[in-house]
């Protein structure tokens, strides 16, 4: 048996334009200096509170709450299947993985729990995953707890687990959990950043994903 753990945003879901737009509009709404697009890309994958603290340095906890409320309200107003499509080939990759009876799938995402569940339900793929791990019940990336919880739920050890993600936070989380780290270059962080964060392998096309999982878990 083996466990394949997926990040969502930037890995299975193409949300970059929506996330950048949402941050820019919510910061403007509350009169906070608008961060650069590169700064917004850099925080993808970590908890929303941690992200806002990085994007609005030096502000106190009450101000972070104001920014978070604006961000969440803006996101809920804008989100939908048209703004958060799956990457081309993602469904086919999930199908190929699930065709193997010895493969279990899970999610480890920095999204809020309700948002992650809603997104997976809207794409009608939630039933494919053994568990959905979010910071609501775990420490956020790069802490390994989300992967550790997914392994516990699946009954799979670290030697048979791979984490697939598009950010350095995903790669560091995988390394901290002692599992294989598979980076994808079509998301928020560049391939060089994924490699620097400890990726065992970086792929550049969705049709390479299943073969890469096989390679890493057979090594």
Residue in this structure with the two tokens 């941050």, named with its chain if needed: 23
The span from the CA of 106 to the CA of 128, in Å, is: 8
In a 3-state reduction of DSSP, which class is residue 44? Answer: coil
CA dihedral 193→198→203→206, nearest 10 degrees, is -100
What's the alpha-carbon Rg for the chain, to the nearest Å?
Answer: 17
Tell me the two tokens of residue 121. 């339900």
Decide if 65 is catalytic.
Answer: no
Q: Choosing from 7, 166, 170, 193, which is the catalytic residue? A: 7
Decide if 7 is catalytic.
Answer: yes
Are 35 and 50 a contacting pair, CB within 8 Å?
no
Q: Choosing from 9, 166, 170, 193, which is the catalytic residue? A: 9
User: Mind telling me the catalytic residues?
Assistant: 7, 9
């Amino acid at each position: 048996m083996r466990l394949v753990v997926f990040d969502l945003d930037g890995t299975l879901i193409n949300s970059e334009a929506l996330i950048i737009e949402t941050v820019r509009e919510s910061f403007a709404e509350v009169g906070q200096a608008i961060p650069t697009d590169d700064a917004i890309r850099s925080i993808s994958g970590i908890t929303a509170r941690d992200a806002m603290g990085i994007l609005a340095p030096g502000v106190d906890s009450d101000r972070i709450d104001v920014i978070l409320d604006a961000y969440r309200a803006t996101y809920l107003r804008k989100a939908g299947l048209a703004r958060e499509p799956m990457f081309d080939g993602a469904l086919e990759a999930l199908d190929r993985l699930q065709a193997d009876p010895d493969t279990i799938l899970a999610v480890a995402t920095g999204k809020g729990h309700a948002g992650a569940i809603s997104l997976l339900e809207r794409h009608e793929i939630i039933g494919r995953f053994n568990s959905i791990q979010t910071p609501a019940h775990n420490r956020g990336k790069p802490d390994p707890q989300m992967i550790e919880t997914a392994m516990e739920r699946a009954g799979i050890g670290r030697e048979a687990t791979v984490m697939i993600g598009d950010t350095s936070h995903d790669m560091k989380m995988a390394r901290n959990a002692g599992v294989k780290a598979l980076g994808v270059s079509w998301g928020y962080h560049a391939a060089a950043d994924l490699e620097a964060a400890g990726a065992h392998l970086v792929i550049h096309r969705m049709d390479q994903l299943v073969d890469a999982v096989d390679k890493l878990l057979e090594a």
